[in-house]
Structure formats: structure tokens, C-alpha cells
Amino acid sequence: MTDPADDAPLKLLALDDEDLAVLSAHLQDFVLKVGDIVYLPRERRLAFVGNRIDRRAPGEVRRRRTAAHFDRVTAVRARGVDRSRPDAVLNLLAIGFTASDEPSGVIEFVFSGGASLQLDVECVEGQAADLGPVWAASAEPAHDSEA
């Protein structure tokens, strides 16, 4: 039987590289469509929605719809992300931060297949929140050991 706390929506806030590591762990294997990534330059925000693996129930493979956004974004660069294919699916492996002139730096999203997004940011300021209930996933994601 699943503990009701395992079904509670997750809400995370990242304000430094340590927080970002926690966010990255919860968003590992997050899948999203290219068309669901939006950069709003006036608001200095990058936002996206997709499905994350919910690992809080041991032995169960579940997904959950989740939205995330990062603020204080001054520029976005992409490698291996084809904006002309909005239905292409990306699988997030990790999110990292490299400081330049602290607290500013670059937040990098690393996706399977060598794709990535780099955000130039004034500081780390990101959030993720679950949008709905969990559902059973067909399989646990697998990763190549050479990736």
C-alpha cells in the first residue's frame, strides 16, 4: 500500500547550486517536447512543462506532470535542440550550474543524445511544481554507462 504522503505534489525552489542539485535529482529523466520550452525575454524567464519520474514510492515506477521555470535569465543557447520540430521529445539527464561572476553564471540542462540548453543567469532562481496526480509508467528509464 502506498503512503498518502508519497502522492503529495512536489514543490521545489532552487536559489543556489546546492538547491539546483536537489532539483536536478528530482527532474532526472524528465521528458518534454521541444515545443513546451518557452523563453520569455521580457520576463527574463525560461519555462517548460513535461513529465517527471516520481521516485518517492519504492518499487513503483510512476510519472507526474510537472512545470518548471527559471528566472533572471539574460540569454539562452541551445545545442542539438531543433526548434523546427516542436514534437521532438527530450529526456533530461541533469541540471548544473557554473558560476562566472557570482552569483551570475550558466545553468546547463543536459539531455540524452547530446542536446543541451545553457541559460545565462544573474543568479540561480528556479522552481518546479507538480501539476496533477501520479500515474504508472511503463518502465524505469535506463541509461547507457558510456553516456
Query: Which of the four pLDDT bands, split at 50, 70 and 90, describes residue 59?
Result: confident
Instruction: Look at residue 17 and tell me if it is in a domain.
Output: yes
Q: Which three cell numbers stand for residue 34?
A: 521541444
Query: Which of the four pLDDT bands, split at 50, 70 and 90, describes residue 146?
Result: very low
Q: Which three cell numbers stand for residue 28?
A: 532526472
Instruction: Look at residue 1 and tell me if it is in a domain.
Output: no
Q: Is 141 exposed, middle or buried (0-12, 13-18, 19+ CB in 10 A)?
A: middle
Amino acid found at 102: E
How much is the pTM? 0.90
Residue 37: count of CB within 10 angstroms of its CB: 20
d(CA 63, CA 123): 30
pLDDT tens for residues 102-140? 899 999 999 999 999 999 999 999 999 999 899 998 877
Number of domains in the chain: 1
Q: Is the pLDDT of residue 52 over 60?
A: yes
Instruction: Look at residue 15 and tell me if it is in a domain.
Output: yes
Instruction: Look at residue 140 and tell me if it is in a domain.
Output: no
Instruction: Look at residue 141 and tell me if it is in a domain.
Output: no
Compute the Cα dihedral for 114, 119, 120, 124 and give only its sign: negative
Instruction: Look at residue 147 and tell me if it is in a domain.
Output: no
pLDDT tens for residues 92-101? 999 999 999 9
